[in-house]
Structure 1
Amino acid sequence: MENNTKQQGNIIAIITMMFLFAMISFVTNLAAPIGVIWKNVFQGTGSENMIGMLGNAMNFLAYLFMGIPAGKLLTKIGYKNTALTGIATGFVGVLIQFISGKFGADVSGFAVYLFGAFISGFAVCILNTVVNPMLNLLGGGGNRGNQLNLIGGTLNSLAGTLTPMLVGALIGTVTATTKMANVNMVLFIALGVFATAFVVLFFIPIADPEMGKTTSDTVFEHSPWAFRHFVLGTIAIFVYVGVEIGIPGTLNFYISDTSANGAGLMENAAAIGGFVAGTYWFLMLVGRFIASFIGGRVSSRSMMIVTTVAGMAFIVLAMLLGKSSTVSMPVFTGTTFKMVVVPIAALLLVLCGLCTSVMWSCIFNLATEGLGKYSAAASGIFMMMVVGGGLLPLAQNFIADHSSYLFSYIVPLVALAFMCYYALIGSKNVNKDIPVD
């Protein structure tokens, strides 16, 4: 009877964590498509692409400040209360973004929006701190833990697919009159989701799993930084999140910019850009869904090697072929599906979604393997490194402003090369002499 009760509790906890996984992506993926609005507001400054990506940067910058505190919050108040704190913080962050629309399309409104994006970043950092280690622990670690994270990642990708599509449909074609009020509906949806999740989670009983069975008497002779594979893993996660966000975010700007895409997308360019970017997230969903079935049999290292090599190939081809030729892609234009002509580079970059789909869980597993009692501290450090999702796209769009959209993909290309090295060599634990019990 006790085992049945524990199993039911685990199922409830797993379902709840899966739901939170989707919420993380919904809030995170608001920033890049909304950035199209602010890019238009500051058009002509010479840095409009980088400005458009600042909301995304603020969202991820919060991880740098909240990563370790979120881990400490987890140990002090438990998984459920930490999740409720994250949800409440997310509600406030989205509310501030809504209020920014009341200030108008100027510097003051932009400043309020950035503040809201920063607060939302605190929320997703806290929620990420809850779901990743808990799913890994509920799955018993190893391949099974990786499998649960991949299933959660599938829901994460579903939310990531729908968000830019919805925002793009609401914006349509960017004009001088386009402003934050155009996306109020998606902000209302986010507020409703957070409010509902808070109420539901408040009444769900969740027993916290034992975090490595550490106590106040546990002696930590070293730190996670003593493990080479963890140090390199933190770099890998830093550049990975930058790749995951930078590829579709910059692609959205590229397609929305009718002077640069070369595909004649004068009508509803922002909408098409949002749906093309959404297709990238959809392929991430497909990749994670497939990987969730094979995750128990294929090692994280093998998945990383295959996906990083394929991702580099897609990006190199996109940079070489550019907009010299075009292809048709099925996109939803707001009322129906139709084939839209896009540069072939856009299709190749969208295919990268299949590659990036499995990288987070693979790097997380490889970097924390064999850390034992240092795993909790490692999780907090990992959350700090998610700041790469703000900094690398910012650097990429700086290059886009001063060179070209396609040449800016040199940033994710170099990042993928490092991740390939990590999978091949850097992920090996060469510090097995350090006691972790």
Structure 2
Amino acid sequence: MTQEKKSGNLIAIITMCFIFAMISFVTNMAAPFGNIWGFQYSWAAMMGNMMNFAAYLFMGIPAGKMLVKYGYKKTALSALAVGAIGLIVQYLSSIFGADIETFTYDGQIVALNLIIYLFGAFICGFCVCMLNTVVNPMLNLLGGGGNKGNQLIQIGGTLNSLTGTLTPLLVGVLIGQVTAETSMSNVAPLLFIGIGIFILSFVIISFVAIPEPQANTGNKKFEHSPLAFRHCLLGVIAIFFYVGVEIGIPAQLNFYITNLGFEGSAAIGGTLAASYWFLMLIGRASSSIISGKISTTAQMTAVSLFAIIMLLIAILMPETVTVEFKGNEIPMKCFLIAVCGLSTSVMWGGIFNLAVEGLGKYTAAASGLFMMMVVGGGIMPLIQDFIAKATNPITSYWLIIAMLVYILYYSKIGCKNVNKDIPVE
């Protein structure tokens, strides 16, 4: 490899890692923002998150087609522009529509500002879907697939977790305790920061040269679908469950602590949710170091088992077992749930890496399918929230355990490529 090519690849890797960070920044606004809307509408706490991930269902396959037809750079630039628009629309919900009634749901009159916010969250979902479609196959490709490809995805995931840590923490600091007076105007500074970062990112990426491995395949018709590969099909299902796990664990934890109702509960809920994302950062950073030597399958098996054990202990542990945290008695189980961030840290990159291994020319199309199934991050936490309201928040974690059991199965058995007879060149 020439020095010029190495330098170009390094710039591309840095750019992709930066985009990875942006994905988490936008996505992780939904759950803490949900505390604001959930206080006003009992059913709306997870709706912003649902709209954010519902967009993946509509945009996943189109994003994959954009990647094939227009390449990585144009798809990324389009995504950044869409993201800025989505955050602007969310900001509009803080200044308009609070006094305009729309319809009645669950005995409550819904104001227009909630509809505006949900529309903005939906637009942002298009953005992060497109960015995800770009960054994952690009990093895997730049790493040459296999353990090295997974290593680069974990490095990008480390930055993703850093912004994931900061976002709920910043929201918690901005709103402190959720009251009847709390509104989106309290978090407007965070929205302005996000808009500014999107604009700056657009300018920077405009001048960065990004490899375009799909440049000459836009008009080609492939003989098969990525779903013809069993390990890809099962991986698509695993991604659906994984994103539900990743989002559901901290979101429900945040709601649980916030609803304890003591002074500053929202801030502490945001802090523990942020600690979950911080532990994801630690896990991904660690994985980025060891992935060149320890297989993806071994890592996935270990973290799946660890998460299942931690959640089983948390569910069975009495609430009377508490830890003093910032002057308040917090159930010990909350900390065990937050520790699961170490496990979820490597799952996204691990599942993607295993599922696209050996796909060759079908990789870009597979990436679009994966992004479509990220809708699981909206559907499964919503189901978990229904369970939490019907029973209690801790009981809802049985759903998380069930999804982790499937991920464990995929890590050991389902990830094996049994369709090597299909040509991929």
Structure 1 residues 37, 293: CA separation in 2 closer, same or farther (over 3 Å shift)?
same
Q: 2:156 aligns with which of 144, 152, 156?
A: 152
Letter paired with 1:175: T
Tell me the equivalent position of 1:334.
Answer: none
Tell me the equivalent position of 1:124.
Answer: 128
- Separation in 2, partners of 1:236, 1:322: 31
Q: 1:210 aligns with which of 213, 228, 249?
A: 213
Tell me the equivalent position of 2:233.
Answer: 231
Task: Say which SS state the counterpart of residue 341 (structure 1) adopts.
Answer: strand
Q: 1:79 aligns with which of 66, 69, 72?
A: 72
Is 2:51 the counterpart of 1:55?
Answer: no
- Separation in 1, partners of 2:407, 2:186: 39
Tell me the equivalent position of 2:114.
Answer: 110
Tell me the equivalent position of 2:94.
Answer: 101
Tell me the equivalent position of 2:29.
Answer: 30
Structure 1 residues 81, 209: CA separation in 2 closer, same or farther (over 3 Å shift)?
closer
Residue-by-residue CA offset, 1:84-126 (whole Å, 9 max, x unaligned): 1111100000000000112228531111000000000000011
- Does the CA contact (< 8 Å) of 1:138 and 1:209 recur in 2? no
Is 2:66 the counterpart of 1:70?
Answer: no
Is 2:14 the counterpart of 1:15?
Answer: yes
Is 2:224 the counterpart of 1:222?
Answer: yes
Letter paired with 1:62: A
- Does the CA contact (< 8 Å) of 1:143 and 1:299 recur in 2? yes
Is 2:272 the counterpart of 1:276?
Answer: yes
How far 1:433 sits from its partner (Å)? 2.1
- Separation in 2, partners of 1:163, 1:371: 35
Letter paired with 1:267: E
- Does the CA contact (< 8 Å) of 2:67 and 2:364 recur in 1? no
Tell me the equivalent position of 1:362.
Answer: 350
How far 1:171 sits from its partner (Å)? 0.9
Is 2:375 the counterpart of 1:379?
Answer: no
Tell me the equivalent position of 1:405.
Answer: 393
- Separation in 1, partners of 2:74, 2:422: 34
Letter paired with 2:373: M
Q: 2:408 aligns with which of 420, 424, 427?
A: 420
Structure 1 residues 363, 154: CA separation in 2 closer, same or farther (over 3 Å shift)?
same
Is 2:44 the counterpart of 1:41?
Answer: no
- Separation in 2, partners of 1:144, 1:358: 14
Tell me the equivalent position of 1:263.
Answer: none
How far 1:151 sits from its partner (Å)? 0.4
Letter paired with 1:210: P
Letter paired with 1:283: L
- Does the CA contact (< 8 Å) of 2:53 and 2:122 recur in 1? yes
How far 1:211 sits from its partner (Å)? 3.5
Q: 2:320 aligns with which of 320, 324, 328?
A: 324
- Does the CA contact (< 8 Å) of 1:322 and 1:406 recur in 2? no
- Does the CA contact (< 8 Å) of 1:59 and 1:120 recur in 2? yes
- Separation in 2, partners of 1:4, 1:209: 19
Letter paired with 2:289: F
Is 2:418 the counterpart of 1:430?
Answer: yes
Is 2:281 the counterpart of 1:285?
Answer: yes
Structure 1 residues 221, 80: CA separation in 2 closer, same or farther (over 3 Å shift)?
closer
- Does the CA contact (< 8 Å) of 1:171 and 1:178 recur in 2? yes
How far 1:224 sits from its partner (Å)? 1.3
- Separation in 1, partners of 2:327, 2:298: 36
- Does the CA contact (< 8 Å) of 2:71 and 2:215 recur in 1? no
Residue-by-residue CA offset, 1:10-49 (whole Å, 9 max, x unaligned): 111111111111111000000000000001001xxxxx2x
Task: Say which SS state the counterpart of residue 111 (structure 1) adopts.
Answer: helix
How far 1:146 sits from its partner (Å)? 0.6
Q: Which runs of 5+ in 1 are unaligned?
A: 43-47, 260-265, 330-337
- Separation in 2, partners of 1:111, 1:77: 33
Tell me the equivalent position of 2:291.
Answer: 295
Tell me the equivalent position of 1:200.
Answer: 204
Q: Taking structure 1 as the reference length, what is the TM-score of the superposition?
A: 0.92
How far 1:367 sits from its partner (Å)? 0.9
- Separation in 2, partners of 1:214, 1:110: 43
Residue-by-residue CA offset, 1:54-77 (whole Å, 9 max, x unaligned): 100100010011111111111222
- Separation in 1, partners of 2:354, 2:203: 36
Aligned-residue sequence identity (percent) comes to 56
Structure 1 residues 404, 270: CA separation in 2 closer, same or farther (over 3 Å shift)?
same
How far 1:415 sits from its partner (Å)? 0.3
Structure 1 residues 221, 307: CA separation in 2 closer, same or farther (over 3 Å shift)?
same
Tell me the equivalent position of 2:177.
Answer: 173
Structure 1 residues 224, 212: CA separation in 2 closer, same or farther (over 3 Å shift)?
farther
Residue-by-residue CA offset, 1:150-198 (whole Å, 9 max, x unaligned): 0000000000000000001111111111111111111111111111111
Residue-by-residue CA offset, 1:360-379 (whole Å, 9 max, x unaligned): 11101111112122212111
- Separation in 2, partners of 1:32, 1:216: 40
What is the aligned residue count?
A: 414
- Does the CA contact (< 8 Å) of 1:67 and 1:383 recur in 2? yes
How far 1:238 sits from its partner (Å)? 0.2
How far 1:435 sits from its partner (Å)? 2.2
Q: 2:253 aligns with which of 251, 254, 271?
A: 251
- Does the CA contact (< 8 Å) of 1:137 and 1:209 recur in 2? no
How far 1:345 sits from its partner (Å)? 1.0
- Separation in 2, partners of 1:339, 1:361: 38
Is 2:183 the counterpart of 1:189?
Answer: no
Tell me the equivalent position of 1:5.
Answer: 4
